[in-house]
């Protein structure tokens, strides 16, 4: 995953996520999945969110390399 913008017009901004609480089994599954994919928890969650956004028809740009999203439609 890249943290660069596809266009000079689109700024890179931080996403502050705090206060997330889950069950122990959810956390264990999350950490197992991130380890299998070689991603950080943040990268994994952002990728999952991006896949859901793209699948629902939203157009996003600037965060992912081609092929990073496992959806038919891309940015």
Cα 55 to its chain centre, rounded Å, is 13
pLDDT at 5 over 80: no
- Which pTM was predicted? 0.68
Report residue 75's pLDDT band, with 50, 70 and 90 as the boundaries: very low
pLDDT at 58 over 80: yes
What does the alpha-carbon distance between residue 5 and residue 12 come to, in Å, rounded to a whole number?
7
For the stretch 11-49, pLDDT in tens is 888 888 788 899 999 999 999 999 999 999 988 998 888
What does the alpha-carbon distance between residue 20 and residue 53 come to, in Å, rounded to a whole number?
20
DSSP-assigned letters across all residues of the chain: -----SSTTS-------------HHHHHHHHHHHHHHT--HHHHHHHHHHHHHHHTT----SSS-TT-S-SS---
């Amino acid at each position: 995953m890249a943290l660069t913008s596809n266009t000079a017009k689109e700024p890179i901004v931080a996403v502050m996520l705090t206060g997330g609480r889950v069950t122990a089994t959810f956390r264990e599954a999350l950490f197992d999945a991130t380890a299998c994919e070689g991603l950080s928890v943040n990268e994994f969650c952002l990728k999952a969110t991006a896949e859901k956004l793209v699948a629902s028809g939203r157009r996003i740009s600037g965060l992912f390399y081609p092929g990073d999203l496992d959806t038919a439609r891309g940015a």
